[in-house]
Protein backbone atom coordinates (compact mmCIF):
# COMPACT_ATOMS: atom_id res chain seq x y z
CA UNK A 1 0.00 0.00 0.00
CA UNK A 2 2.91 2.35 0.72
CA UNK A 3 4.19 1.86 -2.82
CA UNK A 4 0.74 2.73 -4.23
CA UNK A 5 0.48 5.85 -2.09
CA UNK A 6 3.99 6.92 -3.10
CA UNK A 7 3.13 6.52 -6.79
CA UNK A 8 -0.14 8.41 -6.29
CA UNK A 9 1.71 11.30 -4.67
CA UNK A 10 4.32 11.32 -7.43
CA UNK A 11 1.74 11.39 -10.23
CA UNK A 12 -0.38 14.03 -8.51
CA UNK A 13 2.52 16.38 -7.78
CA UNK A 14 3.89 15.98 -11.31
CA UNK A 15 0.52 16.78 -12.90
CA UNK A 16 -0.15 19.66 -10.52
CA UNK A 17 3.26 21.21 -11.18
CA UNK A 18 3.05 21.03 -14.98
CA UNK A 19 -0.74 21.17 -15.49
CA UNK A 20 0.01 19.46 -18.79
CA UNK A 21 -2.82 17.38 -20.36
CA UNK A 22 -0.51 14.40 -20.87
CA UNK A 23 0.50 14.34 -17.19
CA UNK A 24 -3.13 14.50 -16.00
CA UNK A 25 -4.09 11.79 -18.50
CA UNK A 26 -1.26 9.55 -17.26
CA UNK A 27 -2.45 10.06 -13.69
CA UNK A 28 -6.10 9.28 -14.47
CA UNK A 29 -5.15 6.25 -16.55
CA UNK A 30 -3.24 4.89 -13.54
CA UNK A 31 -6.19 5.66 -11.27
CA UNK A 32 -8.55 3.69 -13.53
CA UNK A 33 -6.47 0.52 -13.17
CA UNK A 34 -7.53 -0.24 -9.61
CA UNK A 35 -9.93 1.21 -6.98
CA UNK A 36 -7.00 1.31 -4.57
CA UNK A 37 -5.24 3.67 -6.96
CA UNK A 38 -8.24 6.01 -6.90
CA UNK A 39 -8.31 6.04 -3.12
CA UNK A 40 -4.58 6.73 -2.88
CA UNK A 41 -4.72 9.50 -5.48
CA UNK A 42 -7.67 11.22 -3.82
CA UNK A 43 -5.92 10.91 -0.48
CA UNK A 44 -2.79 12.55 -1.92
CA UNK A 45 -4.81 15.39 -3.43
CA UNK A 46 -6.95 15.99 -0.37
CA UNK A 47 -3.86 15.88 1.86
CA UNK A 48 -2.10 18.45 -0.31
CA UNK A 49 -5.11 20.78 -0.31
CA UNK A 50 -5.46 20.46 3.46
CA UNK A 51 -1.76 21.14 4.02
CA UNK A 52 -1.93 24.29 1.89
CA UNK A 53 -4.91 25.61 3.82
CA UNK A 54 -3.40 24.80 7.22
CA UNK A 55 -0.22 26.60 6.22
CA UNK A 56 -2.28 29.75 5.67
CA UNK A 57 -3.48 29.72 9.30
CA UNK A 58 -1.59 31.06 12.33
CA UNK A 59 0.00 28.26 14.34
CA UNK A 60 -2.42 28.85 17.21
CA UNK A 61 -5.39 28.08 14.95
CA UNK A 62 -4.17 25.04 13.06
CA UNK A 63 -6.03 22.70 15.35
CA UNK A 64 -9.41 24.25 14.52
CA UNK A 65 -11.86 22.57 12.14
CA UNK A 66 -11.61 23.59 8.49
CA UNK A 67 -14.63 25.56 7.27
CA UNK A 68 -16.17 24.52 4.01
CA UNK A 69 -18.07 27.47 2.59
CA UNK A 70 -18.34 31.24 2.51
CA UNK A 71 -21.62 33.12 2.60
CA UNK A 72 -22.78 36.65 1.95
CA UNK A 73 -24.17 38.29 5.09
CA UNK A 74 -27.75 37.95 3.79
CA UNK A 75 -27.26 34.36 2.66
CA UNK A 76 -29.20 31.93 4.86
CA UNK A 77 -26.42 29.31 4.72
CA UNK A 78 -23.86 30.06 7.46
CA UNK A 79 -20.37 28.66 7.70
CA UNK A 80 -20.29 25.37 9.57
CA UNK A 81 -17.29 23.47 10.95
CA UNK A 82 -16.77 20.13 9.24
CA UNK A 83 -16.70 17.18 11.58
CA UNK A 84 -14.23 14.33 11.12
CA UNK A 85 -15.65 11.73 8.76
CA UNK A 86 -14.73 8.05 8.54
CA UNK A 87 -16.68 6.78 5.52
CA UNK A 88 -17.57 3.13 5.07
CA UNK A 89 -16.45 2.04 1.62
CA UNK A 90 -18.43 -0.66 -0.22
CA UNK A 91 -17.55 -1.50 -3.82
CA UNK A 92 -16.33 0.95 -6.48
CA UNK A 93 -19.23 3.42 -6.21
CA UNK A 94 -19.10 3.22 -2.42
CA UNK A 95 -15.41 4.00 -2.62
CA UNK A 96 -16.02 7.05 -4.79
CA UNK A 97 -18.83 8.36 -2.58
CA UNK A 98 -16.62 7.89 0.47
CA UNK A 99 -13.80 9.77 -1.20
CA UNK A 100 -16.11 12.63 -2.12
CA UNK A 101 -17.28 12.84 1.48
CA UNK A 102 -13.77 12.72 2.89
CA UNK A 103 -12.53 15.32 0.43
CA UNK A 104 -15.26 17.70 1.62
CA UNK A 105 -13.31 18.10 4.87
CA UNK A 106 -10.91 20.40 3.03
CA UNK A 107 -13.71 22.55 1.65
CA UNK A 108 -13.60 21.61 -2.04
CA UNK A 109 -14.25 18.09 -3.30
CA UNK A 110 -11.26 16.15 -4.59
CA UNK A 111 -10.73 16.69 -8.31
CA UNK A 112 -9.93 13.04 -8.99
CA UNK A 113 -13.04 11.89 -7.12
CA UNK A 114 -15.28 14.20 -9.11
CA UNK A 115 -13.55 13.15 -12.33
CA UNK A 116 -14.18 9.48 -11.57
CA UNK A 117 -17.83 10.31 -10.99
CA UNK A 118 -17.85 12.08 -14.35
CA UNK A 119 -18.76 15.53 -13.01
CA UNK A 120 -15.61 17.60 -13.63
CA UNK A 121 -14.63 19.35 -16.84
CA UNK A 122 -11.20 20.81 -17.50
CA UNK A 123 -10.83 23.83 -19.80
CA UNK A 124 -7.54 25.45 -20.80
CA UNK A 125 -6.02 27.89 -23.25
CA UNK A 126 -2.61 27.90 -24.92
CA UNK A 127 -0.17 30.79 -24.89
CA UNK A 128 -1.73 33.69 -26.80
CA UNK A 129 -5.17 32.04 -26.95
CA UNK A 130 -8.41 33.30 -25.39
CA UNK A 131 -11.60 31.26 -25.13
CA UNK A 132 -15.20 31.52 -23.90
CA UNK A 133 -16.83 28.45 -22.32
CA UNK A 134 -20.63 28.19 -21.94
CA UNK A 135 -21.56 26.12 -18.88
CA UNK A 136 -24.67 23.97 -18.55
CA UNK A 137 -26.13 26.29 -15.87
CA UNK A 138 -26.01 29.29 -18.23
CA UNK A 139 -22.84 30.80 -16.75
CA UNK A 140 -19.90 31.72 -18.97
CA UNK A 141 -16.18 31.54 -18.30
CA UNK A 142 -13.86 33.68 -20.41
CA UNK A 143 -10.30 32.31 -20.28
CA UNK A 144 -7.31 34.51 -20.98
CA UNK A 145 -3.96 33.32 -22.35
CA UNK A 146 -2.27 30.25 -20.83
CA UNK A 147 -5.08 29.64 -18.33
CA UNK A 148 -6.72 26.55 -16.89
CA UNK A 149 -9.88 25.84 -14.86
CA UNK A 150 -11.65 22.80 -13.41
CA UNK A 151 -15.47 22.99 -13.33
CA UNK A 152 -17.75 20.81 -11.17
CA UNK A 153 -21.49 21.55 -11.43
CA UNK A 154 -23.47 19.73 -8.75
CA UNK A 155 -27.06 19.85 -7.50
CA UNK A 156 -26.13 21.93 -4.44
CA UNK A 157 -23.07 23.89 -5.51
CA UNK A 158 -21.07 25.06 -8.53
CA UNK A 159 -17.34 24.68 -7.87
CA UNK A 160 -14.66 26.14 -10.10
CA UNK A 161 -10.92 25.95 -9.52
CA UNK A 162 -8.72 28.44 -11.34
CA UNK A 163 -5.52 26.43 -11.68
CA UNK A 164 -3.49 29.11 -13.45
CA UNK A 165 -3.82 32.28 -15.46
CA UNK A 166 -6.85 34.55 -15.61
CA UNK A 167 -10.58 34.18 -16.15
CA UNK A 168 -13.71 36.30 -16.13
CA UNK A 169 -16.84 34.68 -14.70
CA UNK A 170 -20.31 35.72 -15.90
CA UNK A 171 -22.45 33.89 -13.35
CA UNK A 172 -26.03 32.80 -14.00
CA UNK A 173 -28.33 33.53 -11.06
CA UNK A 174 -29.12 30.42 -8.98
CA UNK A 175 -29.33 31.15 -5.27
CA UNK A 176 -29.85 27.48 -4.44
CA UNK A 177 -26.49 26.62 -6.01
CA UNK A 178 -23.77 29.07 -4.95
CA UNK A 179 -21.01 29.66 -7.47
CA UNK A 180 -17.61 29.36 -5.76
CA UNK A 181 -14.25 29.98 -7.40
CA UNK A 182 -11.10 28.71 -5.69
CA UNK A 183 -8.04 30.60 -6.91
CA UNK A 184 -4.94 29.39 -5.09
CA UNK A 185 -6.77 29.30 -1.76
CA UNK A 186 -8.77 32.49 -2.30
CA UNK A 187 -12.49 31.62 -2.27
CA UNK A 188 -14.86 33.89 -4.19
CA UNK A 189 -18.58 33.27 -3.85
CA UNK A 190 -21.24 34.76 -6.15
CA UNK A 191 -24.93 34.16 -6.86
CA UNK A 192 -25.43 36.18 -10.04
CA UNK A 193 -22.66 38.59 -10.92
CA UNK A 194 -19.61 39.18 -13.12
CA UNK A 195 -16.03 39.26 -11.90
CA UNK A 196 -12.47 38.73 -13.11
CA UNK A 197 -9.76 36.75 -11.28
CA UNK A 198 -6.08 36.80 -12.16
CA UNK A 199 -3.40 34.69 -10.52
CA UNK A 200 -0.25 36.81 -10.39
CA UNK A 201 3.11 35.58 -9.13
CA UNK A 202 2.66 37.04 -5.65
CA UNK A 203 -1.01 38.01 -5.32
CA UNK A 204 -4.51 37.03 -6.45
CA UNK A 205 -6.22 39.96 -8.19
CA UNK A 206 -10.03 40.18 -8.13
CA UNK A 207 -12.04 42.74 -10.13
CA UNK A 208 -15.82 42.93 -9.60
CA UNK A 209 -17.55 44.17 -12.74
CA UNK A 210 -21.22 43.66 -11.78
CA UNK A 211 -23.01 42.71 -8.56
CA UNK A 212 -21.42 41.67 -5.26
CA UNK A 213 -19.15 38.79 -4.30
CA UNK A 214 -17.93 37.44 -0.98
CA UNK A 215 -14.22 36.72 -0.55
CA UNK A 216 -12.20 34.78 2.00
CA UNK A 217 -8.57 33.72 2.15
CA UNK A 218 -7.10 31.58 4.90
CA UNK A 219 -8.36 32.80 8.27
CA UNK A 220 -9.46 36.20 7.00
CA UNK A 221 -12.96 37.49 7.67
CA UNK A 222 -15.41 37.27 4.77
CA UNK A 223 -15.35 40.52 2.78
CA UNK A 224 -18.12 41.84 0.54
CA UNK A 225 -16.70 43.31 -2.65
CA UNK A 226 -19.08 45.41 -4.74
CA UNK A 227 -18.96 46.28 -8.43
CA UNK A 228 -16.38 48.88 -9.34
CA UNK A 229 -13.96 47.60 -6.73
CA UNK A 230 -10.88 45.42 -6.79
CA UNK A 231 -9.22 43.23 -4.18
CA UNK A 232 -5.60 42.14 -3.91
CA UNK A 233 -5.49 38.94 -1.84
CA UNK A 234 -2.44 37.36 -0.25
CA UNK A 235 -1.74 35.27 2.86
CA UNK A 236 -5.03 36.01 4.65
CA UNK A 237 -5.05 39.73 3.78
CA UNK A 238 -7.65 41.29 1.48
CA UNK A 239 -6.87 44.84 0.30
CA UNK A 240 -9.87 46.49 -1.39
CA UNK A 241 -9.61 49.53 -3.68
CA UNK A 242 -12.03 51.53 -5.85
CA UNK A 243 -11.60 51.33 -9.63
CA UNK A 244 -12.62 53.96 -12.15
CA UNK A 245 -14.56 52.62 -15.18
CA UNK A 246 -11.52 53.24 -17.39
CA UNK A 247 -9.40 51.00 -15.17
CA UNK A 248 -11.98 48.20 -15.26
CA UNK A 249 -12.08 48.50 -19.05
CA UNK A 250 -8.30 48.29 -19.13
CA UNK A 251 -8.25 45.13 -17.01
CA UNK A 252 -10.83 43.40 -19.20
CA UNK A 253 -9.66 44.66 -22.61
CA UNK A 254 -8.15 41.24 -23.33
CA UNK A 255 -11.64 39.90 -24.03
CA UNK A 256 -11.78 42.16 -27.09
CA UNK A 257 -8.31 41.02 -28.14
CA UNK A 258 -6.71 44.23 -26.92
CA UNK A 259 -4.30 45.42 -24.29
CA UNK A 260 -4.54 48.99 -22.98
CA UNK A 261 -2.02 51.15 -21.14
CA UNK A 262 -2.63 54.48 -19.45
CA UNK A 263 0.42 55.75 -17.61
CA UNK A 264 1.77 52.24 -17.03
CA UNK A 265 5.53 51.81 -16.83
CA UNK A 266 7.37 50.23 -19.72
CA UNK A 267 8.22 47.32 -17.41
CA UNK A 268 4.52 46.72 -16.74
CA UNK A 269 3.64 46.96 -20.43
CA UNK A 270 6.38 44.51 -21.41
CA UNK A 271 5.23 42.06 -18.72
CA UNK A 272 1.68 42.26 -20.08
CA UNK A 273 2.68 41.67 -23.69
CA UNK A 274 4.92 38.76 -22.71
CA UNK A 275 1.85 36.88 -21.46
CA UNK A 276 0.86 36.44 -25.11
CA UNK A 277 4.27 36.06 -26.83
CA UNK A 278 6.15 32.77 -27.34
CA UNK A 279 9.42 34.74 -27.15
CA UNK A 280 9.82 37.73 -24.84
CA UNK A 281 10.25 41.44 -25.07
CA UNK A 282 13.30 42.23 -22.91
CA UNK A 283 14.24 45.54 -21.32
CA UNK A 284 17.96 45.75 -21.90
CA UNK A 285 18.44 49.15 -20.29
CA UNK A 286 17.15 49.61 -16.70
CA UNK A 287 17.02 53.37 -17.27
CA UNK A 288 13.96 53.03 -19.53
CA UNK A 289 12.02 50.56 -17.34
CA UNK A 290 10.13 53.34 -15.53
CA UNK A 291 9.15 55.20 -18.71
CA UNK A 292 5.38 55.83 -18.76
CA UNK A 293 3.47 54.61 -21.82
CA UNK A 294 -0.10 54.68 -23.08
CA UNK A 295 -2.26 53.44 -25.91
CA UNK A 296 -4.34 50.47 -27.06
CA UNK A 297 -2.82 47.60 -29.05
CA UNK A 298 -3.92 44.23 -30.37
CA UNK A 299 -2.72 41.30 -28.31
CA UNK A 300 -1.39 39.54 -31.39
CA UNK A 301 0.38 42.64 -32.76
CA UNK A 302 3.09 43.39 -30.21
CA UNK A 303 5.26 44.64 -33.07
CA UNK A 304 2.91 47.64 -33.32
CA UNK A 305 3.80 48.43 -29.71
CA UNK A 306 7.51 48.11 -30.47
CA UNK A 307 7.14 50.39 -33.50
CA UNK A 308 5.39 53.01 -31.35
CA UNK A 309 8.25 52.87 -28.82
CA UNK A 310 10.81 53.42 -31.55
CA UNK A 311 8.94 56.28 -33.23
CA UNK A 312 7.79 58.22 -30.18
CA UNK A 313 9.69 57.22 -27.06
CA UNK A 314 13.37 57.27 -28.01
CA UNK A 315 13.76 53.51 -27.76
CA UNK A 316 15.65 51.18 -30.08
CA UNK A 317 14.53 47.60 -30.65
CA UNK A 318 17.24 44.99 -31.27
CA UNK A 319 15.96 41.64 -32.58
CA UNK A 320 17.40 38.48 -31.04
CA UNK A 321 18.17 35.30 -32.95
CA UNK A 322 15.41 33.54 -30.99
CA UNK A 323 12.79 36.13 -32.12
CA UNK A 324 13.02 37.97 -28.82
CA UNK A 325 13.28 41.76 -28.92
CA UNK A 326 15.67 43.71 -26.69
CA UNK A 327 14.60 47.27 -25.87
CA UNK A 328 17.36 49.83 -25.20
CA UNK A 329 17.67 53.63 -25.19
CA UNK A 330 18.23 55.12 -28.64
CA UNK A 331 20.55 57.76 -27.19
CA UNK A 332 24.16 57.23 -28.14
CA UNK A 333 23.32 54.61 -30.75
Strand stretches in the chain, DSSP E = 120-124, 131-134, 140-143, 148-153, 158-164, 166-170, 179-183, 186-190, 194-199, 204-210, 212-217, 223-226, 229-234, 237-242, 258-265, 281-283, 292-298, 315-319, 325-329
Query: What is d(CA 31, CA 6) in angstroms, rounded to the nearest whole number?
Result: 13
Query: What is d(CA 40, CA 188) in angstroms, rounded to the nearest whole number?
Result: 29
The residue out of 215, 231, 251 marking a domain boundary is: 251
Instruction: Flag whether pLDDT at 271 surpasses 70.
Output: yes
Query: What is d(CA 217, CA 185) in angstroms, rounded to the nearest whole number?
Result: 6
The residue out of 233, 251, 269 marking a domain boundary is: 251
* Residue 71 buriedness (CB in 10 A; 0-12 / 13-18 / 19+): middle
Q: How far is CA 130 from CA 123, 126, 144, 184, 304, in A?
A: 11, 8, 5, 21, 20
Q: Does 10 lie in the same domain as 113?
A: yes
CATH of the domain at 134: 2.60.120.1440
Q: Does 112 lie in the same domain as 127?
A: no
Residue 126 falls in which region: left (phi positive, over 0), alpha (psi -120 to 50) or beta: beta
The pLDDT of residue 52: 53
Domain that holds residue 14: 1-118
Q: Does 151 lie in the same domain as 44?
A: no
Q: How do residues 25-82 score in pLDDT, each as one tens digit?
A: 777 777 767 767 777 777 777 666 555 544 545 544 444 444 444 555 545 344 333 3
Query: What is d(CA 179, CA 167) in angstroms, rounded to the nearest whole number?
Result: 14
Q: Does 124 lie in the same domain as 114?
A: no
Q: Does 207 lie in the same domain as 136?
A: yes
The residue out of 74, 94, 118 marking a domain boundary is: 118
Q: Does 308 lie in the same domain as 270?
A: yes
Angle at 302 between CA 313 and CA 165, to 5 degrees: 120
Helices (H), the chain: 2-18, 21-32, 35-56, 91-103, 111-116, 245-251, 266-274, 302-312
- Flag the least confident range among 31-35, 122-126, 261-265: 31-35
Q: Does 300 lie in the same domain as 189?
A: no
Looking at the 3D structure of the chain, how many domains does it have? 3
Q: Does 245 lie in the same domain as 128?
A: yes
Q: Does 99 lie in the same domain as 48?
A: yes
Q: Does 219 lie in the same domain as 142?
A: yes
Q: Does 195 lie in the same domain as 298?
A: no
Query: What is d(CA 49, CA 53) in angstroms, rounded to the nearest whole number?
Result: 6
The pLDDT of residue 45: 73
Q: Does 279 lie in the same domain as 214?
A: no
Instruction: Flag whether pLDDT at 330 surpasses 50.
Output: yes
* Residue 90 or residue 280, greater confidence: 280
Contact 153, 173 (CB under 8 A): no
**What does the DSSP 8-state code read for residue 117?**
T
Read off the pLDDT of each residue in 3-19 and give the average, rounded to a whole number.
82
End-to-end CA distance of the chain: 67
Cα 276 vs. chain centroid, distance in angstroms?
17
Is the pTM higher than 0.75?
no
Amino acid sequence: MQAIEAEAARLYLKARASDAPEDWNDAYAWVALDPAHGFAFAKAEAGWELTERLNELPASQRGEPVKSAIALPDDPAPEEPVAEIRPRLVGRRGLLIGLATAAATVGVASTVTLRLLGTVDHYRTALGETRTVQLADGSRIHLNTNSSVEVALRDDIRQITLLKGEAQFDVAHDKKRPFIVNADGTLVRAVGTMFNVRLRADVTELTVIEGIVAVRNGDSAVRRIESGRSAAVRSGSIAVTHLEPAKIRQRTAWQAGMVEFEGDTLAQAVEEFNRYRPTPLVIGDPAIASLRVGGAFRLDRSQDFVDALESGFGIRAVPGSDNSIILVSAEGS
